[in-house]
Amino acid sequence: MSDYSLFWMSISQHLLDCVVVNEIWSTNLRGVKVQDKQDFPDTASLVTGSQEFADNLIKVSKKSQDLISDFYNSQKNDDFDPDPFNIGGSFLSLAQNMSADPTKLMDAQANLWKGYMDIWRNMALNASGQDSDAAIEPAKGDKRFRSDEWSKNQVFDYIKQTYLMTSKWINDTVADVEGLDEQSRQKVDFFTKQFTDALSPTNFFWSNPDVLKHTVETKGENLVHGLENLLDDLKEGKGKLNPKMVPDGAFEVGKNISITPGKVVFQNELMQLLQFNPTTDKVYKKPLLITPPWINKYYILDLRQDNSFIKWCVDHGHTVFIISWVNPDERHIDRNFEDYMSEGILAALDAVEQTTGEKEVTAIGYCIGGTLMSATLAYMAAIGEKRITACTFFAAQMDFEDAGELLMFTDEDQIQMIEKKMETAGFLEGRNMATTFNMLRSNDLIWSFMINNYLMGKDPFPFDLLFWNSDTTNMPPKMHSFYLRNMYQQNLLQKPGGLTLGGQAIDLSKVTIPIFVQASKEDHISPFESVFKATKLMSGPAEFMLAGSGHIAGVINHPNANKYQHWTNASKKKYETAQEWLEDAKESPGSWWPHWQKWLAKKSGPKVDARDPAKGKLKPLEDAPGSYVKVKAKAGKSASE
């Protein structure tokens, strides 16, 4: 399976649909006259414009041929891998274990047919005018079947229920197979769901009522525009499909996104350090240093002025510094985890002290930036350094035993494959990581854009978060291998002395400063049960807080938005698990930011005069957001190059 083969399954069907439509409608609809528009309430406009419709479908057929030709030409390179996720062995094991118990499979098949019979019976009752509940409904939060046609139209209702019944049966049957090791179990469960999601009727022309309606309304222009979008995306991806999530030119960093005023006050080969302009006359004495993930860009914390975490912190009296990581290329091939600590966090601390005169700071580490921060705190504890006096962690893992679905992509075969790619290119392309993360929410981050861009023929909506999501960063090979092997694969950070950085044994239990640990209840990247373990690994006072929503929206939730909720627990009890903590927690509506601000304010020292970065001891190098954040991820060379 290639990294876009799931797309291709739907595209192939789309092309076949287009050819069939072209043959049927271009042949049969030319010259058709409307006898009575009441007889064709949904297709009258199509029929009256059949010549235009047929012409559009001829264009579709031609573009389909171009698309197929381009696709197959793109597969001729030497580095084409039919199974980049190494799932073949897991599914072979699944087949062997499944065939070992044919009776169980037959029982499952019988249950599926019973489900079909329930659907047919209910459909017959509805057709006869009797009320009958659906045999199966979409899961809560499933956005695919929101159109009224999926419930009101019996044909589409039948298609929907049959699909839901079948996909549930496939996933349940696979999950019920015994004899698989845990890693194979995770893989077959995950990729089976990817398969059933790919086959959703919403992803196909003939079985999506919204697409059919739009095709009639536009006389087929949506199909022409959709294939143009598809061809453009394939060309831009050099044969690999990456649907646009936002329209070209909708956002520009420093123009209409990431515009909180500030200065770059320091830089080296790995990062720029930004200091933001104060908006209050007085500020807390201790500056706030933020370490974002190096896997994507810092401005997730500074999207728009009305949802910017950075601006909110500045408005609440904090002198905010943030690290803006370099977008690596082959020049950074030897940079490793220790370099990101020494030339990242430690260098930033030196620069903060130089420009403000303050030695002590508070800090934030977000996601893997928090993982790096925790290791740095342990290093500082080992050398007796106390410059960070309180630290907040956003969705950051330190114990990776229960790190969720990403563990599937970190077995030895996977890591060796990634290392081979990095050896060829000199770095890991950001789009490789983006594909993996998007697969964790394929219906929202893959298939919805397939439908909108290619079937509906529309441009995507200009959404700042998705612009950031598409603005990828590359990974230095040594840094990335160290992280995958030592954190995800071997889970050494949580083991005292498991890692050595800067010549010091890393022991998180030596960290005694107060910490605030934020997690999100629906986080699919850093499960809150895993994040919670940080409260037990460090020895200082620890406050845990659980936010509603997921990995991003759970963090970026401005109080003015009045969205979601959060849970806090004032008990002094030592909880073993996050679930135990949650049972005693109090749920409160809205953002958790004000609750966190109360915690941080007590640890940030007295108020002093506001600090203007233009007047600090370090001469500003350029205006925020700086130049590093504007660098686009460089594409790597293929093995054939």
Which residues are marked as active site?
367
Identity of the amino acid at 617 = K
For 216, the 3-state DSSP assignment is helix
10 Å CB burial of residue 159 (0-12, 13-18, 19+) is buried
For 24, the 3-state DSSP assignment is helix
For 586, the 3-state DSSP assignment is strand
Which residues are CB-neighbours of 410 under 8 A, at least 6 positions away? Answer: 484, 488, 489
User: In angstroms, what is the C-alpha Rg of the chain?
Assistant: 27
Strands 262-267 and 565-568 turn out to be unpaired
- Ramachandran sector of residue 258 (left: φ over 0; alpha: ψ -120 to 50; beta: rest): left
- The angle at the Cα of 316, spanning 314 to 318, to the nearest 5 degrees, equals 50
Strands 515-520 and 388-394 turn out to be parallel
Q: Provide the angle, in degrees to the nearest 10, between the axes of the packed helices 182-198 and 5-28.
A: 20
Other beta carbons within 10 angstroms of residue 540's beta carbon come to 12
C-alpha 465/C-alpha 255 separation (Å) is: 15
C-alpha 125/C-alpha 119 separation (Å) is: 10
- List beta partners, residue 266: 273
CB 626 within 8 A of CB 272: yes
- Ramachandran sector of residue 629 (left: φ over 0; alpha: ψ -120 to 50; beta: rest): alpha
What are the backbone angles phi and psi of residue 355, rounded to the nearest 5°?
A: -85, -25
Other beta carbons within 10 angstroms of residue 602's beta carbon come to 10
CB 300 within 8 A of CB 468: yes
What are the backbone angles phi and psi of residue 619, rounded to the nearest 5°?
A: -70, 125
CB 395 within 8 A of CB 518: yes
CB 337 within 8 A of CB 483: yes
For 608, the 3-state DSSP assignment is strand
